[in-house]
Amino acid sequence: MAQPTFSTHVGMVDILPDEVRKWHKLEQIIHQEAKKFHFEEIRTPIMEQTELIARGVGEGTDIVSKEMFAFERGEDQYVLRPECTAPVARAFVEHHLEQRGGTQNLYYIGPMFRAEKPQKGRQRQFHQFGAEIIGADDPAADVDIIAFMMAIYDRVGISNTTLKINSVGEPESRKEYIEALKDYFRPHLDKLSSISQKRFENNPLRILDSKEEEDQSFIEDAPVITDFLTEETAEHYQRVKELLTELDISFEEDPHLVRGLDYYTRTAFELISPDLGSQDALGGGGRYDLLIEEIGGQHTPAVGFAAGMERLFIACQELDINLVEEEMLDVYIVTLGEEARKWGLEHLPKLRAAGLSASMDYIGRSIKSQMKDADRENARHVIIVGGNELAEGKFTLRNMKASEEDSYTFDKILDKLTTDIN
Name which position in 56, 285, 297, 301 contacts ligand HAM (CB under 6 A).
285
Query: Phi/psi of residue 82, each to 5°?
Result: -85, -10
Query: Known binder of ligand: residue 83?
Result: yes
305 binds ligand HAM (CB under 6 A): yes
Q: What is the distance between the alpha carbons of residues 148 and 55, in angstroms, rounded to a whole number? A: 28
Determine if residue 177 is labeled as part of a ligand binding site: no
Q: Which is nearer to ligand HAM, 79 or 417 (CB)?
A: 79
Given a contact cutoff of 8 angstroms between Cβ atoms, the answer to whether 130 and 108 are in contact is yes
Residue 316 counted as an annotated binding residue: no
Answer whether 143's CB lies under 8 Å from 247's CB. Answer: yes
Please tell me whether residue 316 adopts helix, strand or coil conformation: helix
Question: Is 27 labelled a binding residue?
Answer: no
Contacts 24+ apart (CB under 8 A), 170-175: 170/230, 170/233, 170/265, 170/266, 170/289, 170/290, 171/265, 171/290, 172/230, 173/225, 173/228, 173/229, 173/230, 173/233, 174/205, 174/225, 174/228
Q: Is 307 in the site for ligand HAM (CB under 6 A)?
A: yes
Q: Cβ(107)–Cβ(34) under 8 Å?
A: yes
281: number of Cβ within 10 Å: 17
Whose Cβ is closer to ligand HAM: residue 110's or residue 386's?
A: 110
Query: For ligand HAM, what does the binding mask look like between residues 250 and 269, x meaning CB under 6 A?
Result: ----------xx--------
109 Cβ neighbours under 8 A, 6+ residues apart: 27, 30, 41, 127, 128, 129, 309
Nearest distance from residue 79's CB to ligand HAM, in Å? 14
For ligand HAM, give the closer residue by CB, 22 or 311: 311
| Residue choice 128, 166, 203, 226 for contact with ligand HAM (CB under 6 A) | 128
Q: Shortest Cβ distance from residue 286 to ligand HAM (Å)?
A: 6
Shortest distance in whole angstroms from residue 270 CB to ligand HAM: 7
Taking CB under 6 A as the rule, does residue 306 contact ligand HAM?
Answer: yes
Answer yes or no: is 85 a known binding residue.
Answer: yes
Least separation in angstroms between CB 259 and ligand HAM: 6
Q: Is 201 annotated as a binding residue?
A: no
**How far apart are CB 156 and ligand HAM at their closest, in Å?**
14
Q: Pick the binder of ligand HAM from 33, 48, 62, 83 (CB under 6 A).
A: 83
278 close to 91: Cβ distance less than 8 angstroms = no
Buried residues in 135-159 as b, exposed as e (16+ CB within 10 A): bbbbbebbbbbbbbbbbbbeebebe
Distance CA(168)–CA(224), nearest Å, equals 10
Backbone φ and ψ for 101, nearest 5 degrees, come out as 85, 155
Q: Could you say whether residue 304 binds ligand HAM (CB under 6 A)?
A: yes
Among 33, 48, 62, 132, binds ligand HAM (CB under 6 A): 132
The yes or no reply on residue 311 touching ligand HAM (CB under 6 A) is: yes
Is residue 130 near ligand HAM by the rule CB under 6 A?
A: yes
- Per CB under 6 A, does 123 bind ligand HAM? yes
Q: Are 331 and 373 in contact (CB under 8 A)?
A: no
Query: Binding ligand HAM by CB under 6 A: which of 29, 56, 85, 156?
Result: 85
| Interacting residue with ligand HAM among 37, 126, 129, 228 (CB under 6 A) | 126
By CB under 6 A, the residues from 90 to 119 that bind ligand HAM are 114, 116
259 is in an annotated binding site: yes
Q: DSSP readout, 151-190?
A: HHHHHHT----EEEEEE---HHHHHHHHHHHHHHHGGGGG
The binding site for L-histidine comprises 83-85, 114, 128, 132, 259, 263-264
Interacting residues with ligand HAM (CB under 6 A): 83-85, 114, 116, 121-123, 126, 128, 130, 132, 260-261, 281-286, 288, 304-308, 310-311
